[in-house]
């Protein structure tokens, strides 16, 4: 298992990490199988979504904040319940097929680290499983 570091700058932010993941993958000399990406944080997550039009991520952020507002009389004392809820809905892991040493993403797909309690320095774990 390997770990990438992700720096976030906003409370809610989607940071595209596709190029960092691809760069790491090239160094592994791995032909085919499955790459698992896991976020070990309860207020962050990971998604695959469109990376061609930044308005998609802008809209996603806006709607998540609308559906799960920051201040909604939550009982959790730390004040970040909205971040925990968003993380639970988005999820903390994804899997991507690898073929010929590259990610099998669609033309418009990218991998995004989802920050819901930033800004912070975060971790993203990567593990390869051969085919």
What's the rounded Cα separation, in Å, for the pair 45 and 43?
7
- Whether domain 2-130 has CATH 2.60.120.460: the reply is yes
Contacts of 66 (CB under 8 A, 6+ apart): none
**Residue 14 token pair:** 């989607």
Where are the domains positioned within the chain? 2-130
**75-102 per-position pLDDT tens digit:** 998 999 999 999 999 999 999 999 999 9
pTM over 0.85: yes
Closest CA to 42 of 110, 89, 111, 96: 89
């Amino acid at each position: 298992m390997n770990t990438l570091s992700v720096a976030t700058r906003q409370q809610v932010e989607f940071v595209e990490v596709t190029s960092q993941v691809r760069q790491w993958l090239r160094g592994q000399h791995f032909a085919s199988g499955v790459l698992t990406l896991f976020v070990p944080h309860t207020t962050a997550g990971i998604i695959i979504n469109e990376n061609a039009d930044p308005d998609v991520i802008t809209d996603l952020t806006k709607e998540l904040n609308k559906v799960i507002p920051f201040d909604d009389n939550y009982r959790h004392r730390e004040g970040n319940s909205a971040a925990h809820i968003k993380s639970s809905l988005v999820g903390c892991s994804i899997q991507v097929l690898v073929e010929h040493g590259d990610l099998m993403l669609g033309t418009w797909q990218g991998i995004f680290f989802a920050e819901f309690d930033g800004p912070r320095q975060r971790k993203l774990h990567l593990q390869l499983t051969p085919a």
